[in-house]
Amino acid sequence: MDVRLTDLLKVLELETLEVNLFRGESRDIGSPQVFGGQVLGQALVAAYKTIDGAQRDCHSLHAYFLRRGDVDAPIVYEVDRSRDGHSFSTRNVTAIQHGEQIFRLAASFHIAEPGFEHAATMPAVPAPETLRTYSAEDDPRLKMLPERIQRFFASSNRPFEFRPIQDVNLIDPPPSEPSKQFWFRAVDRVPSADAWLHRSLLAYVSDYNFLGAAIQPHGISLMQLQVASIDHAMWFHRECRVDDWLLYVIDSPSAAGARGFCRGSIYSKDGVLVASTAQEGLLRVRA
């Protein structure tokens, strides 16, 4: 298995410290703080570890990023088993570093049961096989940026590959519509089909390339901004595998008050809506 995916799976293997208490390690991927998707994925794994009895899978989560995470220190996850009902369970997870809360997650779990079915239609886009995997290293202008930022955008370090529908311009992007689409999948086959693992990995990758849609109408580079996720919400509608191609469709209906709001839909390759996302983030022009 690809070492990048092996390492990500290791990051999601939390150490049990005590009942409802877990510890996770971080990876420095070049972002100014712990990557938000990592904390999101680890917190969901911590919540899953406290789901007992009948099989219940996460159908929704709502999270707030409270403080910057320190990549050089472990993160402790404390789970509150808020409720276990006949068919739903609720968990609240608090991530702690250096004695302070850095992240909070509320997640709901539901047993599988039949019901009404309908879903939005996937937009018509080129198939992933007709597109090339995005590699920031192909842009010579990337060499002008600080080494840490180069590392963040370097595809060689990522456990997922991305094939964008639209052209990517990190340095001097022209103003464009606040929407984008890209295919993504894990760089190798995930060794397990367990729903908890694929949903945790999907939560991890859902934070990639999200807020960029809110910047596109303004023709400004990410390098000129202070960008940080404020909150993140996700709804899991149907089963999927993250090692199969998935289409991420993102749009930004609003930006105001130094905050940008984005929403996303994730489709399987055969056009089935598998998850929805929403996020608001800080978009502050650097002095």
| Active-site residue set | 207, 229, 279
CA distance 84 to 126: 44
CA distance 275 to 62: 14
Q: Which of 272, 275, 226, 284 is CA-nearest to residue 40?
A: 275
DSSP state of 149: H
Q: Which of 138, 133, 89, 84 is CA-nearest to residue 245?
A: 133
Q: Which of 125, 197, 136, 195 is CA-nearest to residue 161?
A: 136
207 residue type, one letter: D
**Residue 23 neighbours by CB distance under 10 Å:** 16
Under 8 Å between Cβ of 94 and 58: no
- Radius of gyration of the chain, Cα coordinates, nearest whole angstrom: 18
First to last CA, the chain: 44
CA distance 141 to 223: 12
Q: Which of 262, 165, 167, 150 is CA-nearest to residue 215?
A: 262
Helix (H) or strand (E) holding 247: strand 246-256
- The distance from CA 179 to its chain's CA centroid, rounded to whole angstroms, is 17
